[in-house]
Amino acid sequence: MAPQFLIFGGPNGAGKSTITRAVLDEPEVAGIEYFNADVIAKRIRLETGASSGTANFGALREVAAGIERALSAGTDLATETVLANNTYRTLAQRARASGFVIRLVFVTLDTVDRSIERVARRVVAGGHAVPEADLRRRWPLAHANLGWFCGNADWVDVFDNSVNDGPPRHVAAARDGQLIHLDARTPPAVLEVLRPLLRP
């Protein structure tokens, strides 16, 4: 059976962590090695007393090393990312060339303003902050990468998690590089990048 490279992506504050826990409980991925920079950074801060910046940098290095180790060994792995640069495109291409199945679970919101609001609420509850400028910059980049994955990954599922305290809605899906489902109520940023992939 081919190894899996499972990526949880989407804007800050979208609720990736909640959906991640549910997916990682699925029998077919139970026990998969999971790399989460936020979790690692928190551990580094608690263990060493490092500043947030130092801990975040160390966490990113640990995640990168862990992914490289899993790809080299051909073992299943999962990771969580905002997906706001091309790093995971490159990793997915390498992994697929090595026989991995590439799966993206993308969690989004209806607007970037909701992303900003959710991060602010998280900070009040003791979570980490992200500058508003970074949230706005990352928003279109994450969705552009969603479009790329829908055309290049083996398996993509998109969830809209806009309703506060409500269940996420499954709004789009792609299999083997082909878009197979696109809900009319999908958030605008998702529609913008996925509509061109619809076959006439």
Task: Dump pLDDT digits (tens) for 7-51.
Answer: 999 999 998 878 888 888 888 887 899 998 888 888 888 888 888
Residue that wins the pLDDT comparison between 36 and 135: 135
Residues in the chain: 200
In a domain, 200, yes or no: no
Read off the tokens for 129: 């902050």
At 44 the pLDDT is 87
27 within domain boundaries: yes
pLDDT band at 91 (very low <50, low <70, confident <90, very high): very high
Tokens of 166: 């409500």
Residue 119 in any domain: the answer is yes
**What confidence score (pLDDT) does residue 123 get?**
84
Other Cβ atoms less than 10 A from the Cβ of 174: the count is 25
Residue 53 structure tokens: 């910046």
Q: Which two tokens stand for residue 109?
A: 């919101």
User: Distance between alpha carbon 9 and the CA centroid of its chain, in Å?
Assistant: 1
Q: Report pLDDT digits (tens) over 140-190.
A: 999 999 999 999 999 999 999 999 878 899 999 999 999 999 998 999 999
pLDDT in tens, 44-73: 888 888 887 788 888 889 999 999 999 999
**Would you state the torsion angle of the CA atoms of residues 57, 114, 18, 151, taken in this order, to the nearest 10 degrees?**
-80
CATH number, residue 18:
3.40.50.300
> How far apart, in whole angstroms, are the C-alpha atoms of residue 63 and residue 60?
5
Q: Is residue 106 part of a domain?
A: yes
Structural domain count, the chain: 1
By residue range, what is the domain housing residue 44?
Answer: 4-195
Neighbours of 31 (CB within 10 A): 8
Residue 132 scores a pLDDT above 80: yes
pLDDT at 200: 63
Q: In whole angstroms, give the CA distance from residue 65 to residue 175.
A: 29
Q: Which amino acid is at 85?
A: N
Percent of the chain with pLDDT over 70: 100
Residue 199, φ and ψ in degrees, nearest 5: -80, 140
Within a domain: 189 = yes
Handedness of CA 42, 166, 80, 74 (dihedral sign): positive
Q: Is residue 66 part of a domain?
A: yes
Indicate whether 13 belongs to any domain: yes
- Domain membership of residue 35 (yes or no) is yes
Alpha helix ranges (H) inside the chain? 16-24, 37-48, 52-73, 87-97, 112-124, 132-152, 188-194
Residues 106-111, mean pLDDT to the nearest whole number: 96
Alpha-carbon span 88 to 10, nearest angstrom: 12
